[in-house]
Structure 1
């Protein structure tokens, strides 16, 4: 069974109020992916990296983050995680922004969503914090392709 962990980056949410993290957990479970852990951390570069690295030390297939991918000064998820993903998958971010553009227009340009593999060969997705964006990414990109990406990386 595929395993995953979810990391929400937010200064205002906790586990009980984290709608995007809850949605992702339900969607993963429905896709027969076991969610091993789910955390919420503030928009702080060190806190984000520490939580991500905790997940990286856990035997997981997927790590999915949501939140902090915009361009506001408090949005530090991208600079926190980009160095921890040495094998990027550029097509994910490009395609996600294209899909988002169709849904929300030019606001999609501010998204720094990305995907890649970390040094432990875990497939990592870095998503915006809105539930709509998480749905778009999961339903149209992650669910149809994560098994193939894991297979290709591990062969």
Structure 2
């Protein structure tokens, strides 16, 4: 599985991007094609997804999923989704509740499909990135990509 990890932030640099590092560590069983850092800007996020579609099975983003005015990752990725994986965000918030309580409800973590590529958007905190990658993305990735690659079943038409 080929994965691109992306940190969405106006303040992080390659030196202090602990969330991006956490994604790479938690997804070490997969091939990290690229690790990117983009600003909190919807067009920058959409552009990184377009580039990733050329050589990745999945993109995992961290940052920009909250409710602050500059948090626009959710809007950027969901506008591109062909299909939404509602259970991803729901499950992430349930798992987060154990660590951060009611603040879990402020997360707009989400996942979906863009073409034949999976897209996961996680909060920017290092703990949230680590939790989402370890508990949700890593266990789901192989099976989900296999489903996306499977030929249509003639019986299901």
Coarse TM-score class (shorter-chain normalised): over 0.9
Shift, 1:86, TM fit:
1.3
1:138 aligns with 2:96: no
RMSD: 1.1
Larger radius of gyration: 2
Is residue 78 from structure 1 mapped to residue 83 from structure 2 by the alignment?
A: no
8 Å CA contact 1:7, 1:52 repeated in 2: no
For residues 90-144 of structure 1, the C-alpha deviation after alignment (integer angstroms, 9 at most, x for no partner) is: 000000001111210010101010111102x111110101110011111211111
Give the structure 1 partner of residue 154 of structure 2.
none
Asked whether 1:100 is paired with 2:96, we answer yes
How far apart, in 2, do the equivalents of 1:140 and 1:49 lie?
Answer: 26
Q: Answer 1 or 2: which has greater helix percent.
A: 1
* 5+ residue gaps, structure 2: 151-157
Distance (Å, rounded) in 2 between the aligned partners of 1:147 and 1:27: 15
2:6 match: secondary structure:
strand
SS of residue matched to 1:4: strand
Q: How many residues align?
A: 150
Q: Please tell me whether residue 51 in structure 1 is matched to residue 48 in structure 2.
A: yes
The answer to whether residue 13 in structure 2 is matched with residue 14 in structure 1 is yes
TM-score by length of structure 1 reads 0.92
TM-score, normalised to structure 2's length? 0.91
Q: Does 1:125 align with 2:120?
A: yes
Cα distance in 2 for residues equivalent to 1:60 and 1:154: 13
Equivalent residues of 1:89, 1:115 under 8 A apart:
yes
Structure 1 segments of 4+ aligned residues over 4 angstroms from their partners: none
Classify the secondary structure of the residue corresponding to 1:43. coil
Counterparts of residues 19-30 of structure 1 (less than 5 Å): 19-29=18-28
* Cα deviations by residue, 1:36-56 (Å, 9 ceiling, x for unpaired): 111111111112212222212
3-state SS of the aligned residue for 1:17? coil
Unaligned runs of 5+ in 1: none
